[in-house]
Every structure is written in structure tokens, then in C-alpha cells.
Homo-oligomer: A and B are copies of this chain.
Amino acid sequence: MKRSHRVAAICQILTESPGKVFALKYFCDMFNAAKSSISEDINAAKDAVSVTGYGYIETITGASGGARYVPDISLAKAQSFQDELCALLQDEGRILGGGFLYTSDIMYNPATVRGMAQIFAKKFRDSGADYVATIETKGIPVAIMTAQLLNLPVIVIRRDTKISEGATVSINYSPGSSERLQRMSISKRAAAPGSKVLIIDDFMRGGGSIKGIVEILNEMDIQVVGKGIAIVDVTPQRKKVEDYFPIIHLAGVDETSKIVKAVPNSDIF
């Protein structure tokens, strides 16, 4: 196999499985080549991907050494994604009664969710998280795709207890402006005590759900090391949680004039 073909195939394999470490030996066996050749190939692959504005290749030395693909997105690409997302959100056809916006088409579209996941993955790649956690339902896709880029498993907190979750821990929480309590529960098998977790969700208004997630994870002796929320409503100004990272601010939904105002977070990286 030609050198240039090996380099290209290595780029494909690493890009297919972000975060996963591939030992040199894996490629030596696949291409029937010496370690020194594969080492050179990986360096060439590293140079090649460095110009595209997406992920880069990291080499790990030592006994368990090899190479892995680290997902990345350039500031320019991230900003142009934010602008596209704002334009999508500002479509007046999304306005539902009561100031609600229809966003399921956005949150269930892998192509759009991937952009959010790339931004979260870059922002939180050094957070030390062992898991990505979210609460059902609409945040699951962005949590899964962020977790895929970070090569982490996901914890899904449920709104009701299910027999298929085994023993669970539950809490009551106050979801928002209304004082009606809601319930959330997590399987005791979901994560080991002492773990670190990155919370990812699709939307936040007052922050009640996110605060609930922090509390239920604390009940399990799990530490929250980051909170990434795709869309954060600017009102109420005072949230129930701090240190959250939004991609887009929802600045207003006016049912009468049919105007939705969405603004990119101007301080993403």
C-alpha cells in the first residue's frame, strides 16, 4: 500500500472514533508495516488535518502509546455555526402559545446537534469529566454527541422511575416560576460515587432543572465539573445555578409582533 494511502486511511480511522487511542501496533498489523513507518505516517496525518479547522491528531508516547483524534472547531467555524443557529431560531413559525418555541427539529437533527457538540467538546475537553449527564428528553441528542466526541458514557436522568433502571435515587425539585414540585430519578448503577460529571442540556430558563440535576448527582456523591446549555433564555436574569456555558442566548419571543430574538454567546473560547 502506498504511503499516501496509509496516511489517508489513518486519518479516516482516527476521525471515525474521536478520543479513542489506537496503538501503533493496530496500524502496523493493518498495513503490514514497521513501527517507524507508521510513526512517520501519523506525523504526516497530524500535519494534514491541522489545516482544516476541525479536529487534530494527538500522539501519546510510552507503553500504552499511540494516536487519537481530538475533536476541535475553529473560532471562525464555531461563530458561523452560532449565526446559522440564531437564524434558525428566529424563524417566526417556531412561536407556540405562552412564549414557547418549537425547537424539536433543531434538537433532533444530528447535523445541527453536531455543531453544538463540537463547541461543548472543545470547551470542556479538559474538564476531567468521567460522564456526560442530562435529563430526558430533548437534551439527550446533544449530550450523546458531545459524549461521543469526548469518548465518555452518558447518564440520563429520568422524570419517572422505571423498573428497567433498577434501584434509583429520587428527588423533588422546583422546575421554574411555578412552585409545583417535580420529580427526577437516577439509577444507582448509573455512576460510581466520586465520579465527575459534565451536565449538557438543550435549554435553560430559570435553571430549576439544572439545579435539580446538580442536587441529585450530589446525593450520589458525584461532582459536577461543567454545565453546557445549548440555548439559555435571558429572562429571568437571576438563575438558580451559576457557571453555566450557553451557545445561544434567547433574548425575547414576542407573540404579537412575531419576533424571536436570538444572540450568539460572544465569549465561547
Q: Identify the A interface with B (CB < 8 A).
A: 1, 3-13, 15-17, 20, 30, 44-45, 47-49, 51-52, 54-55, 96-98, 100-105, 108-111, 113-114, 136-138, 140-141, 144-145, 147-148, 151-156, 158, 163-166, 187, 189-190
Contacts and interface: CB of A to CB of B under 8 A. Distances in A.
Nearest to A203: B164
A166 B109 contact: no
A147 B6 CA distance: 29
21 contacts: A4-B7, A4-B8, A4-B48, A6-B48, A7-B8, A8-B8, A11-B11, A30-B52, A96-B163, A96-B164, A97-B163, A104-B164, A104-B165, A105-B153, A108-B153, A110-B147, A113-B144, A137-B156, A137-B158, A140-B141, A144-B145
Given A4-B4, A8-B7, A16 B108 contact: no
Nearest to A106: B153
Given A11-B12, A51-B9, A189-B104, A4 B3 contact: yes
Given A4-B7, A109-B153, A52 B12 contact: yes
Contacts of A166: 96, 102
Contact of A154 (B3, B4, B47, B110): B110
Which applies to chain A's interface (DSSP): helix, strand, loop or mixed?
helix
Residue among A55, A101, A136 with max Cβ neighbours from chain B (10 Å): A136
A156 B8 contact: no
Given A4-B48, A108-B156, 14 more contacts: A1-B51, A5-B47, A7-B7, A8-B8, A9-B51, A12-B12, A100-B163, A101-B164, A102-B164, A104-B156, A105-B153, A108-B154, A109-B154, A110-B144
Nearest to A153: B109
A133 B263 CA distance: 31
A114 B110 CA distance: 13
A102 B167 CA distance: 10
Residue among A16, A17, A47, A103 with max Cβ neighbours from chain B (10 Å): A16
Contacts of A51: 1, 5, 9, 30
A123 to B, nearest CB: 18
A87 to B, nearest CB: 17
B148 A114 contact: yes
Contacts of A158: 137
A62 B189 CA distance: 53
